[in-house]
Amino acid sequence: MRRDARLRHWFHPLLISAMIGCIAVAATDLIRLIIPTWSRTYFVAGCVLAALEASGSYWVIKARNLRWGDLRRFRLTEILTILILLKIGSFVGDSWGSVLAEIAAWPSQPLGILDPKTVIASFLALASWLLSTLTIRDLERLDDPPEYYSDESPPGEAIANRFLGGGAVLLAIIGITHRILESLPNQSHPPLPRLAFNVLIYFLLGFVLLGQVRYATLRRQWRTNETKVSEKLTSRWVRYSFMLLGLAAIAAFLIPTGHTMGLLELVASLSVLFKYVAQLIALLVAIAVWPLTFLLPSDSEAPPPPPEPEDIEMILPAAANWIEVLRSLLFWAAALGAAFYVARNYLRDYPEVLRALLSLGPIRALRALLAGLWRRLAGMAAAIGERVPRRLSLRRRPGPKQPREPFRFLRLGALSPRERTLYYYLSVLRRAGRQGFPRRHSQTPYEYDDTLAPHLPQARQEMDQLTEDFVEARYSPHPIDREREREVRTRWKRVRDAVRALKRAE
């Protein structure tokens, strides 16, 4: 409980205030491009302190249980205090004479209080105060059951939308600042690397906040299911979240952002590099063999001279840029891998799209060409294998060849809804068997469900229903449509994740 109290009363307010500070720094840099005399410290400090004050006032209201009239008076006093402090802060750095002269002019010119500096600072501070209040409130609502907020958006979704909205505003401000900086020759303005670092810090802190949202959601589920969790999990969750985000930050710095070679240009560079490597190997072999040429008879032709140093210099241009090639290679490998992963999961969830793509004429022709080429190569390999000497085949007599399971991605797309329903259940049996819960031959599906389901508290109902779906698909003639199969797939994913969690727990 003490760790949770520190997490709520200290870590969350500091995290939210730091994120708001990142946006305030970017906004202040943009304002300073227009009015260079304005103080960056004044605006940033006003936004950060307003965000921290909002967190503190939320807990005061909750501790005092303020309602209706008392709450309105407290909020009005709070907002007026923030505005007065911002006005006082605008005088910092001015001489006493100018401050007293301005105060003396207020009775005759009341609107003089609302100078542009104070108005902009008040707007940014009140926006920071409101965002911090809403975020702290949503973080506290994460522990409530879902039926408490059925009439409004879930708190986790609200926090994620607010984080993405702030990121969009930050990127827009950075983009405008970048365009202005390109048109200004003055080098005293904030450099672009610092602006990019500000964006990186905001998104890293945002991912930490989303990690806390995920932890609070899991904690509510564990409490509902009466799952015992270690008391050290909170500190470990925060520590490992920062470690993961630190690795992500390092990877972000290593990604080539200034200049990235195109994919075709990268392939051409690699082909040239391989060519130079082959030439280097041939050169080393020639140097190693050259002394042996003196052992040839004297009437033979004179041995060729060793390679000239000029032959080695042609390798240097390819090696001079190897760091850029390596970074571009890592970038394109990660980008293509991510694209392939997204496309594979999408087509696996929507096999009808895959079937529509495979039914296209060019795709069918390409598949027929590749299938014919594969059969030709397989026939050649079989013919060569028959000509291997019998003694070698006797030494390495292979065991019984196991039938190779077809690729699951293509197999699921070709199966009917009934066959996919059977596959989902059987895949759970295989996974559970590897975790030490195999199904005996004498067990019926219901008896095996009584054995496995108690070990899956987070998906026990889904496992029971998945067993019912399997029995119906296996032993009844009832038709199973695509909508029913999608429901079975949803339950199967929950059971699969529970079996994976069982593996991590062990």
Average pLDDT over residues 487-502: 84
141 and 30 inside one domain: yes
Domain count, the chain: 3
* Final residue in a domain of this structure, among 349, 380, 403: 349
Determine contact, residues 50/129, Cβ cutoff 8 Å: yes
- Cα distance between residue 59 and residue 48, in whole Å: 17
Average pLDDT over residues 41-65: 87
pLDDT value for 272: 66
224 and 286 inside one domain: no
166 and 269 inside one domain: no
Average pLDDT over residues 323-328: 67
Q: What sign for the dihedral angle of Cα 270, 276, 282, 288?
A: negative
235 and 275 inside one domain: no
Residues shown for the chain: 506
How confident is residue 223, by pLDDT bands cut at 50, 70 and 90? confident
Q: For residues 408, 412, 415 and 418, what is the CA-based torsion angle, rounded to 10 degrees?
A: 110
> What b/e string do you get for 17-39 counting C-beta neighbours within 10 Å, with b at 16 or more?
bbbbbbbbbbbbbbbbbeeeeeb
- For 135-146, give the DSSP string: HHHHHHHTTS-G
Confidence check: pLDDT of 323 > 70:
no
Instruction: Please write down the long-range contacts of 85-93, taking CB distance under 8 Å and 24 or more positions apart.
Output: 86/46, 86/118, 86/121, 86/122, 86/125, 87/113, 87/118, 89/42, 89/45, 89/46, 89/121, 90/42, 90/115, 90/117, 90/118, 90/121, 92/39, 92/42, 93/39
How confident is residue 404, by pLDDT bands cut at 50, 70 and 90? very low
Reported as a single tens digit per residue, the pLDDT across 122-132 is 888 899 999 99
287 and 433 inside one domain: no
Better-predicted residue by pLDDT, 465 or 115:
465
111 and 155 inside one domain: yes
- Report the SS3 class of residue 246: helix
Confidence check: pLDDT of 245 > 60:
yes
- For the question of whether the overall pTM of this predicted structure is more than 0.85, the answer is no
Better-predicted residue by pLDDT, 239 or 325:
239
Whether 238 is in a domain gets the answer yes
Six token digits for residue 234:
């909170």
Reported as a single tens digit per residue, the pLDDT across 332-342 is 677 677 677 76
Task: Print the domain residue range for 248.
Answer: 2-254
> What b/e string do you get for 286-313 counting C-beta neighbours within 10 Å, with b at 16 or more?
eeeeeeeeeeeeeeeeeeeeeeeeeeee
Better-predicted residue by pLDDT, 323 or 170:
170
The tally of CA atoms less than 13 A away on the side-chain side of residue 60 is 12
Of the listed ranges 27-31, 83-87, 177-181, 386-390, the least confidently predicted one is 386-390
191 and 44 inside one domain: yes
- Token pair 């005759």: residue: 108
Six token digits for residue 481:
């449509």
The tally of CA atoms less than 13 A away on the side-chain side of residue 61 is 21
